[in-house]
Structures are given as structure tokens and as C-alpha cells.
Structure 1
């Protein structure tokens, strides 16, 4: 895989910071999973570590399965509308995408443990429950667009910086982006590569993401004396991610000594496009416990092992450049079709540790809260290419840090059949040197009658970060003039509606 070029293009998908590799941004993306929960627990901010008794325990704290006294079956669907508001070079743009999805389906089967006649039926091992469930843990669907007038750098500066490590034009591979740019006169060489395009120029970056992550959970939970609940699970995980990106720039060529006469003062337009298709699978384990400290208070602890993934990635890129001379008609475009870079690698996502408390208030309400620790610097990458593996793991250590996520929620029973819920969820910053914030506000209503239940939830999430359409290498000889490239401020707003239907049966 042509790693160096992709090192710097990751400004398209990474918050502002160092020139991370494409892999680095993907590893973080695939490590920032959420618990796959029902609409009930989603309304309470997904704060479930100390609750249990809900099929969300299949994806969260498996000890919660120990609280079931009957069989249970549920499924959850959701509708998502995401808007990306962007500001780049003092220009604001907006893009929106909507998606109907399948969020959760699961079942738990209760097994009462036989007890000797005459024994205390409230002491000892009282129940053993088995569960199986599908949960979606990440939603990548997003359209993002931003543009403006750049007075400091051009896309060709990025390519020239990427080519800085080569001895000259003859060292450039024909199908490389650097080779494409040289053959189409976007960069030239004189004691080093330089851009032939000038500022100011007009730029537009568009990104289209689809896919998600999910897991199949096999879990067991047990009840000891209605006071201690323990559980464990094995999760088979999957990744499906697609990214299509387009970058357009137009302006005038820059004068230089060996410039072809027909390009002096010419206008230009370049269209760069890339595509990425990533599929992966993995496995992890979860262990948890819930302790009933008093009739009203429960304490929970949950450990999620790292997930060990194997990933297949197919990355392709191409570029087309058109020139219009100062006088006369436009030349035929220089068109280079997609060069393909397939690769395979493995990575280990961070472990997670969460603790929680829930309190029953007045017999009709409850309050619950969680804190979760995730060390993103512990992500580990491996591939058959040892230099790439060494570089990546060093880059991960330099880029990421531990983060703590907080979740809080509550439920109030307003009648024998109806409950109101609300919650809040905030994620810690995984970056050492970049701004990042993410929060979710949620509310919902639940209905219970006999063996049937239905839950409805609305959740609004806001994520803010910075990104660049490209990151210029510091190896560029005139980097002090261009800098790393201008940054865009992104605000993602997601409006999600969740609906869960379920039944309990003997």
C-alpha cells in the first residue's frame, strides 16, 4: 500500500492534529463504539452498568441478565437524521443525511435452579439465564461538505510535500498520486518538488460515509440470593465501512522558470476523488457483576476486553486536471483513473472498564449513573509490513490518550402502565492535541401491560471537531509559507428516534 501519500490525506477524516495515517483514523473510528441498547436504556443515557433486567445487558453489563425471572424477547428499530454544519475559510455549509435502521434484537431464556425441598428459596444460586442478541454499536452514515477561498495553500502543495522524499521525477511510481500530479503539470521539480498552482483558489471538499458496526452476543447471567448478580458474554463483532470523497480546486497557475508557455497564466481545475471499502470481524469478552447493597441501591462493575479484529481494506484514488490558457479554448483534461491499494491488517481495540450506581427513589422512580474508562493509546496495529506496524503504533501513542465517558439517566413511573425517562451521555476526548467533544441528550416514554411492553425514545447528539481536506508534510521545502493546511470546524448533529417492542413469557 502506498502509505506515505495516505498518511497526509487523513486530514479528510481526522480531527486537527498531526499527519496521522489513514489507518490511524480508522482505528479510532472503529474503537469508539457505543453499547447497543433498547429504547428504554437509550432514553436513560445508556447508563445501565448497575441496572440490569433489560435486554440491553447483552451488549452492556452481562450481570444484568441474572435479574430476569422470565423469558424475554425484544427488537428495536431507529430512524436517524444527521446534519453536518461546517465552517471553512470563513464560509459556512451544511449537509444532511437520513437513514432507517435496525438497532437491536435479542432474547433471554430463564432457567430456575432446582432447590432441595425445605431449603431457603431466597438464598444461594436462584437462577441461571442465557441470552443471545444482535446489537448495532456504530453508525457511520454521514454526508459532509465544506469549501471556501484559500489564500495560503493548494492541493498541489500537499502532493509536493508527499513527494519530498523522492530523489526526482524518475523515482515516482506511474500510478501514484505524485506521479499523476507530475504528469499533469500540477507539480514540478527543481532541487525538490513544488506546486505549480497559485493562490488564491476556490476549494470544495465533499465526503460521503456509509456503514456501521455490530455485534452478536452470547451471554449468561446468574442470580445469587437476589443480592449478587454475575455474568459473562462472548461478542462476535463486524465492521462495514465505505467512504467516498471528492475534492475540487480551481484557480490560476503559478509562474516558474521551466513552465510550459501554454500554461503561463492559465486557469486550472483539479478533481481528486478517493474511495475506501473496509470490512472486518473480531471477538471480545465481557465480565460483570451487580451488587444489591440495599433494597434501593445497586452497584455495578463491568469489564470489556479488547476486541481483536482482522480487517480487509480497499483504497483507491484518481485525479483529473483541466487547463484553460490565457487565450484560446481549454485543453483536453489529464485524467488518471483510480489506482487501487488493497491491504489487510489486524488491530486490537482498547479495553473498557465501567462502574455504576442506581438508586430507587420513593418506589416510583430511579436514578442511574455510569463512568467508563477507555485507554485509546492502547490501540495496537499489526500487519505484514514491519516498518508500517512500527510507525503506526508509535503514531497511536503520540496521537491518543485515555478518556472517561459519563452517562446518567432516570425513570419515573407516572401510572401503573406508563414511565417517563431522560438521560445525558458525554464522551471524553481521545486526542492528545486536538479539540473534540461529544454529548447526547435523550428522553422517552415506556408502556407496560401484562406481558407486552413498548418504549419510544428521542436522542439528540452533538459532536464537534476540526478536520482538514489535506495535511501538508513538514518535509515540503516551503512549509513555513503554507503551514499544514487550513482547518474546517465541524459540528455533527444527529436526531435519532428509537422504538422497542417486546414480550415476556414463561
Structure 2
């Protein structure tokens, strides 16, 4: 009866500290506006052009380029293909999803005072998906390092006394695991050592130690040798951006704009490692360890931008994206099993660790743009952006763990530039488009997380008061994905190819 009660209580169990890492900072700092088909077909090189709903997310002055009130919606098919190498194993996977990734409208108000240099104003609202987290892959191969090193790094590395891992009289495993998670600062580390012991992977030198303050040495029940490992990764979710925009046209030469942005994070990551071995003298031959992390968050940022027509054909643009100030919450469910585990170990999987909300400040970004318009025939455009990922900060910065993490961010991340070029040629009602982009790695070591290179193509047709646009884009990036932060720190080498097809319906209001 008590165990059944604890299953219900476990669903609202709470803890205080989860070990974030700099990959979280990078994930929420990168913005990949998926955008309209015209925007996508020209690889997002719209900072000096405007006149497109997604261009407002690059330069908020862009909405004042519209001559008429305009609205658009975009449907996209997004595919990620991964080729994964892990020691002697190779795997491939492909994941596709269909999404309404853009929706927005700009309302144009012409100034009735013909003597005023302020010709028109625009108010707009635009939603764009800035990141799609849907992905899955498998890494499998034969390693000489076991997952036991992960639990050993917490048990021995954090000098966790054995007494705190033992059950009190009448206490169940899931109760102890949940209570440990409530310990400020060290709860997460002690939980990992707890999992290592009750799964039968680790044992202390002295099983009779009842104290909580004696230093304990832990030994692994996994004998050295080779280990067959299979690591499954799956993530879902999105990062969305809702922009409220105001822009103005001064004398048809200068355009000014501001965005107030609301951001939304919904992210879920599930990983499971299965490991087997046939090593002599190994008490543990089969291990399964899984983690389900759920993250939600909201944030705020603002943007300032201007576009200048130097001549009738030549335009320049400059915009600033402020940092995004996020408030983020995490929940974690863990599960573990082995052939040497306590029979009740499975009940730990019913505990939801709810962590205290924390803050993340992502870096700001500057974008400079240049465009040349060939009358009604076409155009060519170029954008250059710079973002310093070292400005990412977990807060409060006075927190010991966050301070250490921020130092790690400062030493391992770097400023990164992006280059985008796009062109369009019009023939009667038909438009042909293309583009190319390069986005540098946010890491100082770009062999760990490589540059992104991509190209795009598209077509558009104008029916007068509405237009239909289609775009195809493809990009590639190589990364080394580290399985765990400590212990089993080996990486899977992943070659990712991102292929998108988007369709936009736009119409004048």
C-alpha cells in the first residue's frame, strides 16, 4: 500500500539542481528562422530588402517596405538525415515532420498629410519557428570504456559517503531517490551515485558503513574489457518567436523599425544506453540506462533596424538583435536496470524530478546587409551577421555551479559569423530564386561542432492580389556528440543533412 502511495507522490517529486551544460546554452542561442518560401529560397538574405513577413525577423524596418497590407502563411516539410559513426559501428536514420512554421500580417497606414516626410507606418505581428528539435539517431559500436565510469565519476569523484545511499528502515528505493533529489546543490550528483549502487554496478568497500560523513571508496562490478554499446537519441519540440513590429517610412528613403519579441521553448530529449559484455569476472553483463528530459521556457527580446535607399537601386540595412532573456524549467525522469540490480529498481522510473526555474541570457546579434534591385527584373542581396556565444550566461551568476558553467562557456565558445547571399529573377508573373549560406561554428574547436553550409532554390508566381511561393533548401553540418558529460565521454560522429520544402500563400489585405 505504501509503495502504491509513493508512485503517486513521485509524480510531483521536486529537486533543485540539474547539471546544465554549455550545449543547452548553444541550443537556445542559435536561431534558424525557417520563414516564408521566398525568404527560404534566398537563404534568408533579406536584411536590406524587406517586403516579406519573415524579413521582419531579420530587420524590423522591413515591414515599412510593403506598399499594401499583407499577410502570409507557410507550411513546411522538414527532414533530417544522420549518418552516425561510433567506434566500429555505423548507422543511418531519417526523420521528417510537417509543420505550419510561419504566420503573419503587416498593416500599412499611409499618411494623409502629403507635406509630411513620414510617408507611411506599419504595424505587424509575425510568428516564425526559429528552431525545430525533431531528430533521432542510433550510435552503436564496441568500446573499451563502460557506462560504469559515469556513475563512478559521481560516487568517487564527488566523495559521496555510502550512508546517504542506504535505505532507512521501512523506506522504499523510489522514496530515497526522490528525497535525495531534494538536497540543495548536490542532489543530482548523489542521485547518480544512488543509481550506480542500487543497479548493482557499484559497491562500496565497506557495506556496513552507516554514516553520512565518512569518505567511501566505490568499486565497479563491471570487469575491464570490451563493451557492446547501443545509444538511442530522440528529441522533439521547437523554439518559436512571436514578433510585434512597428516601422516607419521616411521620405521613401529611410525606413526604421522595432520588434518586441516573445519566445517559447518546448523541448524533450530521450536517451537510452544499452550495454553488454562477456568479460571474465564481470558481475554485471547487461546495463540499460535511460533519461527523459523535458524543458519549457519563455523569453523576451527586442530588435532595432533601419534600411536606407542610397539610390533607387542600391539599399543597405543594419539591425541589432538584443540578447534573449529566458526563464527555463526542467523535468527529468531516469530509469536504470542490470542483471545485478535490486528487484525494485524499476520503481525509480515513476519519479519525476522537477527542478527549480533558472535564467539563461543568450547573446545579441548585429546584421549588416546590402542589396541591389534591378528595377522590376530582379535583385541580389547579401547579409553578414555576427554573434558572440561567449556572452551566453546562466543566472544567477553568483551560483557556484552556474559560475563554473559560465567560465566553461567563455573558454570553449567563440564569436561566430554567418554569410547569406540570395538572388531573384522575375519573368512576367514568375520569379526564380536561389541562395547560399555559411554559418560558422559557435565553438572554438569546430571539429567538435562544424560550420553549416547550405543552398536553396525556389519559384514564385504572382496572381495579382495573392502569390504562391515554393522553396527547396538543403544544408549540412558535422558534429561530435558527446554521450555524457562525465565518465563515458566518448563521442558519436554525426554527419547531418537538413532538407526542407516549404510552401507559402501570401495575399494583400
Query: What TM-score do you get using the length of structure 1 for normalisation?
Result: 0.86
Q: Is the 8 A contact 2:54 2:126 kept in 1?
A: no
What's the counterpart of residue 152 of structure 2?
160
Quick check: 1:490 aligned with 2:494? yes
The 5-angstrom pairing of residues 50-449 of structure 1 reads 50-116=48-114, 119=115, 124-150=117-143, 152-163=144-155, 164-172=157-165, 174-175=176-177, 176-190=191-205, 192-197=217-222, 198-252=224-278, 264-266=281-283, 268-323=285-340, 335=346, 337-338=348-349, 339-343=351-355, 344-361=357-374, 363-383=376-396, 386-413=399-426, 415-435=427-447, 436-449=450-463
1:36 Cα shift? 4.7
Equivalent position SS for 1:252: coil
Q: Is the 8 A contact 2:93 2:136 kept in 1?
A: yes
Q: Distance in 2 between matches of 1:169 and 1:361?
A: 75
1:289 Cα shift? 0.4
Q: Distance in 2 between matches of 1:167 and 1:452?
A: 67
Q: Is the 8 A contact 1:63 1:232 kept in 2?
A: yes
Q: Is the 8 A contact 1:399 1:432 kept in 2?
A: yes
1:440 Cα shift? 2.2
What's the counterpart of residue 500 of structure 1?
504
CA deviation digits over 1:3-34, x for unaligned, max 9?
A: 5xx65xxxxxxxxxxxxxx3422221011012
Q: Number of residues paired by the alignment?
A: 457
Q: Distance in 1 between matches of 2:284 and 2:268?
A: 33
Equivalent position SS for 1:389: helix
Q: Distance in 2 between matches of 1:378 and 1:78?
A: 32
Q: Distance in 2 between matches of 1:378 and 1:321?
A: 42
Q: Is the 8 A contact 1:301 1:355 kept in 2?
A: yes
Equivalent position SS for 1:431: coil
Equivalent position SS for 2:348: strand
Distance 1:404 1:384, change over 3 A: closer
Q: Distance in 2 between matches of 1:403 and 1:295?
A: 33
What's the counterpart of residue 327 of structure 1?
none
Long gaps (5+) in structure 2:
1-14, 167-175, 178-190, 206-215
CA deviation digits over 1:479-503, x for unaligned, max 9?
A: xxxxx64321111212111000011
Distance 1:341 1:362, change over 3 A: same
Distance 1:192 1:385, change over 3 A: farther
Q: Is the 8 A contact 1:252 1:267 kept in 2?
A: no
1:159 Cα shift? 1.2
Equivalent position SS for 1:35: coil
Equivalent position SS for 2:277: strand
Q: Is the 8 A contact 1:320 1:336 kept in 2?
A: no
Q: Distance in 2 between matches of 1:379 and 1:126?
A: 40
Q: Is the 8 A contact 2:201 2:284 kept in 1?
A: no
Q: Distance in 1 between matches of 2:99 and 2:240?
A: 12
Q: Distance in 2 between matches of 1:349 and 1:266?
A: 46
Q: Is the 8 A contact 2:51 2:62 kept in 1?
A: yes
Q: Is the 8 A contact 1:58 1:132 kept in 2?
A: no
Q: Distance in 2 between matches of 1:346 and 1:90?
A: 40
The 5-angstrom pairing of residues 9-24 of structure 1 reads 22-24=20-22
